[in-house]
Chain A
């Protein structure tokens, strides 16, 4: 089973695209979602994203991540609902009201965040992390240390998640009941665990930095990578589609 945002081998169209194409498409797709408030267009983008995930057999992990995004976007939607009075009044509040416009804005926010996130998730699932970092260095001329920092950050997310799981298991074995009580109790129990997590994170980061140094990290340049990342006609078509979508939402109100 693959971990969080971890590459899953495959031979789909998305797998075969140039890594830079995938990054450009995902970023333009996300910008497009943020440039429009048309709920129908956003729903269309969301469906496109789901179809893309299904086309490379990544529907299940993407739906799992969408759940996490939903939790975050619902918080934003509730804030919008309570602080953006617009449209016909539905509920009076001491500081304003919740209107039909507020509900539409909240729903739009949820759909927008979900739609924008899918291609970004997919990029990680269908591209090796080394290809992502090497291609941005080779093609986009991004300094290697920035690409490495980004790749390391993503790489360490599942590592730290595993560490937290181990720490929680160790404390559970000592009698700490994480599954008892409400959210306040859980937070109270988890706060002390941030200390060992922080200590282990610093130790791991330090080890990784030393390992990189001794392997000649500072000697690496754009020319160091052996693999080439040529663009094909399909890459150009995909990028054109992304640009066309963005232009469409800017020009069409």
Chain B
């Protein structure tokens, strides 16, 4: 479990980035952090994996403050996928890149080799490929694979779909969905509300260094005050269902006005027609 208790953080003494943030993330959750640029989302992620220590308050990982943990201990618990895979990739072959994390943690051995082989097969990589010559989407997949191979109980994803085309985006998110179904806690920063609506079970909305809303995905995405405050546009289906009662007041109580997904909308239309 990850817990923030009244966390304050800053990069510069004069500029506060987080101002009294508190929340808990239970094991196995899929949480999306949303909000405008500068809201404090990425800082929150950096606090979760110990890259940044709080100025005040406490960040706990399984009850232990991050200030009392070594970086390598946190890395074993919390994997972090950076927005730019080129910051992460530093080896000459895909295989070496996947083994890099084990080397850093001093865990190279037959088990590690077997895990690397498994991930290479699962992701469909050529182990001898030069990572720097792969396309952007495949480099992002490799960066994700190098986190997945270490099997951390928590994976943090900082805008995992930025710069990817639709096909690459679906591939990355499918893998993340499988990870979550296997029991991994997923914490994701994302600006794409369609992705948030499709995958996240809980949404934390941040604005100006604080949490302005926190709850089940569609409760948050249907809250007009939250949407206005954090300058968010909900997924298209939610947007349509929210707009329908404005077109005709009689639709306010119709299932159409409560559809959150394409499937729910189709079912609601079928019900209306019948």
Contacts and interface: CB of A to CB of B under 8 A. Distances in A.
Given A177-B72, A199-B86, A172 B51 contact: yes
Given A166-B82, A173-B51, 11 more contacts: A166-B87, A173-B49, A173-B75, A173-B79, A173-B80, A175-B101, A177-B70, A177-B72, A179-B71, A192-B90, A200-B87
Given A166-B82, A170-B82, A174-B75, A196 B87 contact: yes
Nearest to B75: A175
Contacts of A170: 80, 82, 87-88
Contact of A195 (B49, B72, B90, B105): B90
Q: How large is the interface on B (under 10, 10 to 19, 20 to 34, 35 or more residues)?
A: 20 to 34
Contacts of A179: 71
A173 B76 CA distance: 9
A177 B71 CA distance: 7
Contacts of A196: 86-90, 132
Q: How large is the interface on A (under 10, 10 to 19, 20 to 34, 35 or more residues)?
A: 20 to 34
A125 B91 CA distance: 38
Nearest to A189: B104
A195 B96 CA distance: 14
A1 B15 CA distance: 10
Interface of A: 1, 163, 166-167, 169-177, 179, 192-193, 195-196, 199-200, 203
Contacts of A174: 75, 80, 88, 100-101, 104, 146-147, 150
A166 B84 contact: yes
Interface in B84-116: 84, 86-92, 100-101, 104-105
Nearest to B72: A175
Nearest to A174: B101
A192 B103 CA distance: 13
Nearest to B92: A195
Nearest to B78: A173
B12 interface: yes
19 contacts: A166-B82, A167-B87, A169-B87, A170-B80, A173-B49, A173-B75, A173-B82, A174-B80, A174-B100, A174-B104, A174-B150, A175-B75, A175-B105, A193-B90, A196-B88, A199-B86, A199-B132, A200-B87, A203-B86
A122 B223 CA distance: 53
Interface of B: 12, 49, 51, 70-72, 75-76, 79-80, 82, 84, 86-92, 100-101, 104-105, 132, 146-147, 150
A212 to B, nearest CB: 22
Contacts of A171: 88, 90, 104
A200 B87 CA distance: 8
B129 to A, nearest CB: 15
A200 B86 contact: yes
Contacts of B76: 175
Contacts of B90: 167, 171, 192-193, 195-196
Q: Looking at A166, A169, A200, which has the most chain B CB atoms within 10 Å of its CB? A: A169
Contacts of B79: 173
Nearest to A173: B80
Which 7 interchain pairs have the tightest Cβ spacing? A175-B75, A175-B104, A173-B80, A170-B87, A175-B72, A170-B88, A175-B105
A80 B71 CA distance: 41
A1 B12 CA distance: 8
Contacts of A193: 90
